[in-house]
Structure 1
Amino acid sequence: MRDIDLVRVRYVGREGTERLVRLEEAAEVPFEDGRMARVIPSYVGQGHMPGRYWAATMGDFVEYESVLESKWLTLLDFDREVTAFSSQPLEFDGIDGRGAWRHTPDVFARRRDGGALLLDVKNPQMRDDPRVRLQEERTRRVCARLGWDYAMVSEPDEQRWVNVDLLSSARRPLYLGEELVPRLLELTRRPVSIGELMRFMEFEDLARGVLFHLMWFQRIVTDLDRALRDSTLVKAQAEGVGR
């Protein structure tokens, strides 16, 4: 397939105005702040479950089209290098050696260094579909021209997802237990097991929730590629590193 000859980008700005720009102009557009370029359908009997995810990163809701997509929104929300993200952010309208094509990627993420990441979330059973592979190839080539990172993803690593999903339950602002934060940070200056840490807490259930909140914001860290147990070692992150 020869190089893409023409690609335009359609998006809807924050104020609700639809715009169509050349690909080169799209590199400067803050897609993380815009509105959705495509409405996610919702109807009785559909094969996936759309919904809304509350993102701690922005303090706002982001729509998703499937449970699988909601997992990746959660992982982006947990990523301390991501400062904002949006769903269905833009539509590519292109022409190449195989004809005209259009595609609306699933998620756009802005990184702390100003870089961008575009994600397509696909059911693993569809990854070998020739149409999906062509879509991936086209989108990857366009993102390379924009200087963006691109990935087509399916199921995340199972153990890491289980851990991040658990911590995400504590991602909202603290309304109870805020007074425990300094004590937990002090006790985790050196590695300590979760079980040992809880022995110092008068109200263990409350303290565990506050601990998970601090771990979500990565003020206290651990190895998330292993199962979280009372024997898991945790440690306070260096000041200014976590969110």
Structure 2
Amino acid sequence: MADDAGAATAPGIRDIDLVRVRYVDGEGTEHLIRLEEAADTPFEDGRMVRAIPSYRGQGHMPGRYWAATLGDLVEYESYLECKWLMLLDFDPQVTAFATQPLEFDAIDAGGAWQHTPDVFARRQDGSVLLLDVKNPEMRDDPRVRLQEERTGRVCGRLGWDYAMVSEPDEQRWTNIDLLSSARRPLHLGEELAPRLLELARNPVEIGELMRFMEFPDLARGVLFHLMWQQRIVTDLDRPLRDSTLVKAAEEAQA
């Protein structure tokens, strides 16, 4: 989230004239490449291009998120950024993601600028989603709007999707946050998964499902794990209650 978008100069910026991309590969070697080369570079396999600062009294809370998609820890710069890492982790189309993955070093009609996007995500089909995570109070800052415009223009040239995001939908986030408590691999209760999938072949309320189980407290954790994996699905835009209907996904039934 730290960046230098340059001065918020006059509107109508023309197409970017020159862009180079700096990144650090998995072996720790730094590279500076032309924008055209970036389209085929596996940034998800590299290291962070900048360290995330951590000091007493800072205005946001950095940390590390354990990603089920990766089986590893990913550093984040703020709690808001951590929320978006979790949403990416939950997305079945996302196969890998990395934070602080690269730096754009560019010159356009407004002058020279540099920017390190927050998150790089790779999807199953090979496409890319680049995210910048911004405090909603900063979205109207002219420098932030200019950064969004510039980064979006660069991503357009690469064929990448780009979004500047703030707070996710509150109800959906609350539900996914609850399911994330069971995102790690199953050990205790693993044998309950086939029974839950069988019972959920047709829509069934969570409370009713638990009444079929000998150890309902343990079974609820296994259910949440299956829901995190989206082998059992429901409407996550509504509160999760015992009256919530769930159903085994078609792939799980097959």
What is the TM-score with the length of structure 2 in the denominator?
A: 0.94
Shift of 1:175: 1.4
Alpha carbons 2:197, 2:252 under 8 Å: kept: no
Corresponding letter in the other structure for 2:129: L
| 1:122 maps onto 2:158 in alignment | no
Alpha carbons 2:48, 2:99 under 8 Å: kept: yes
Per the alignment, in what secondary structure is the counterpart of residue 250 of structure 2?
coil
Alpha carbons 2:69, 2:95 under 8 Å: kept: yes
| 1:193 maps onto 2:205 in alignment | yes
Match of 2:97 among 59, 62, 85: 85
Partner of 2:5 in structure 1? Answer: none
List runs of 5+ in structure 2 lacking aligned partners.
1-12
Alignment length, in residue pairs?
242
* RMSD, aligned α-carbons: 1.1
Measure, in 2, the Cα distance between the counterparts of 1:199 and 1:47: 46
Shift of 1:72: 0.0
Shift of 1:5: 0.3
| 1:57 maps onto 2:85 in alignment | no
Name the CA shift for 1:231/1:133 in 2 (closer, same or farther; >3 Å). same
Corresponding letter in the other structure for 1:212: F
Match of 2:219 among 207, 211, 214: 207
| 1:146 maps onto 2:158 in alignment | yes
Measure, in 2, the Cα distance between the counterparts of 1:230 and 1:129: 44
Alpha carbons 2:18, 2:107 under 8 Å: kept: yes
Deviations 1:149-202 (A, max 9, x none): 000000000000000000000000111000100100000000000000000011
Alignment of 1:78-117 (within 5 A): 78-117=90-129
Partner of 2:59 in structure 1? Answer: 47
Match of 2:229 among 217, 221, 240: 217
Measure, in 2, the Cα distance between the counterparts of 1:234 and 1:216: 12
Deviations 1:136-157 (A, max 9, x none): 0000000000000000000000
Partner of 1:179 in structure 2? Answer: 191
Per the alignment, in what secondary structure is the counterpart of residue 151 of structure 1?
strand
Shift of 1:240: 6.0
Measure, in 1, the Cα distance between the counterparts of 2:232 and 2:117: 34
Shift of 1:241: 9.5
Match of 1:236 among 228, 241, 248: 248
Measure, in 2, the Cα distance between the counterparts of 1:27 and 1:80: 22
Measure, in 1, the Cα distance between the counterparts of 2:166 and 2:253: 29
Partner of 2:10 in structure 1? Answer: none
Corresponding letter in the other structure for 1:31: F
Identity of aligned residues (%): 82
Partner of 1:28 in structure 2? Answer: 40
Runs of 4+ in 1 over 4 A off after TM superposition: none
Per the alignment, in what secondary structure is the counterpart of residue 251 of structure 2?
coil
Corresponding letter in the other structure for 2:105: D
| 1:74 maps onto 2:86 in alignment | yes
| 1:9 maps onto 2:21 in alignment | yes
Shift of 1:239: 1.9
Alpha carbons 2:201, 2:253 under 8 Å: kept: no
Measure, in 2, the Cα distance between the counterparts of 1:175 and 1:42: 35
Measure, in 2, the Cα distance between the counterparts of 1:42 and 1:32: 23
Partner of 2:6 in structure 1? Answer: none
What is the TM-score with the length of structure 1 in the denominator?
A: 0.98
Measure, in 1, the Cα distance between the counterparts of 2:154 and 2:250: 38
Measure, in 2, the Cα distance between the counterparts of 1:241 and 1:222: 15
Measure, in 2, the Cα distance between the counterparts of 1:241 and 1:50: 40
